[in-house]
Amino acid sequence: MNVLNFVNAFFSDSAHWHGYDGIPTRLGEHVQYTLEALAIAAAIGLPIGLVTGHYGRGGNTLAMISTAGRALPSFGLLVLMFIWLGFGMTPVMIPLVVLAVPPILVTTYEAMRSVDPSPVDAARGMGMHEAKVLFQVELPVALPLILSGLRSAAIQIVSTATIAAYVSLGGLGRYIVDGLYQHNYEKVVGGATLVALMALATLGLFWAVARVAVSAGVRRSH
């Protein structure tokens, strides 16, 4: 029960609870990085996924782009961008966005493709606009899958944002990287626990969003 002792020691040390290096500060930074990266990735991935999925074209191109995006090593990209652009938020955001766009893009496309075509045809038959068909018929049905894509992107960002600490930014990774250099095991395990907890909280949050946002009729059929 080695690890549990470290967890206990980390969380019961009051020095870890306030100030510049306190848990609230680091957690706030981590949440900020996550939200920014997720927002940028969603702004890129969602529109492209929705439109390509609606017209059912470009699926192979999307799959290729997302494999290429996934193939780029996040950590390598971070260091490279750091060497290239210097200290700042941009070198951290680039790898996180590259990491998060493929799941959003591919899942959104697949979600739109998996919508039953008969209501879509019915909507068209009723004289609905393409845009209206997309947003009022396809989107609500595809929503659960789209949310699951956003969720996995968010979880990946949460656990990868730890490497921001390597280029001397904040976030929960600070504890892990500092602990590694200081040979302070307690800090490493504490930081890891916090990141894992935040990932689980993200899971819970998306579950709640899905409960609220997905219409009851769609939920029943899933």
Report the residue from 9, 180, 210, 214 that binds another protein according to the rule CB under 8 A. 180
Phi/psi region, residue 115 (left: phi>0; alpha: psi -120 to 50; beta: rest), is beta
Rounded to whole angstroms, the Cα distance separating 15 from 56 reads 55
Question: Does residue 7 touch another protein according to CB under 8 A?
Answer: no
With contact defined as beta carbons under 8 Å apart, do 162 and 198 qualify?
A: no
Candidates 23, 42, 62, 106; binder of another protein (CB under 8 A) is: 106
Q: Which residues contact 171 (CB under 8 A, 6 or more apart)?
A: 26, 29, 30, 33, 161, 162, 164, 165
Nearer to another protein, 129 or 145 (CB): 145
What residue type is assigned to position 3 of the chain? V
Q: Taking CB under 8 A as the rule, which mask of x and - marks residues 10-49 in contact with another protein?
A: ----------------------------------------
- CB-nearer residue toward another protein: 37 or 163: 163
Per-position x/- string for 115-144, each x denoting binding to another protein as judged by CB under 8 A, each - no binding: -xx---------------------------
Distance CA 170, CA 28 (A): 9
Cα–Cα–Cα angle for 174, 178, 179, rounded to 5 degrees? 115
166 CB neighbour count, 10 Å cutoff: 17
Token reading at 73:
């090593």
Binds another protein (CB under 8 A): choice among 9, 22, 59, 214? 59
Q: For residue 134, what are the CA distances in angstroms to 53, 125, 143, 180, 191?
A: 10, 14, 12, 50, 43
Member of 55, 75, 87, 207 binding another protein (CB under 8 A): 75
Q: Would you tell me which residues interact with another protein (CB under 8 A)?
A: 2-3, 59-60, 63, 67-68, 70-77, 79-80, 83-84, 99, 102-103, 106-107, 110, 113-114, 116-117, 145, 148-149, 151-152, 155-156, 158-160, 162-163, 166, 173, 176-177, 179-180, 185, 188-189, 191-192, 195-196, 199-200, 203
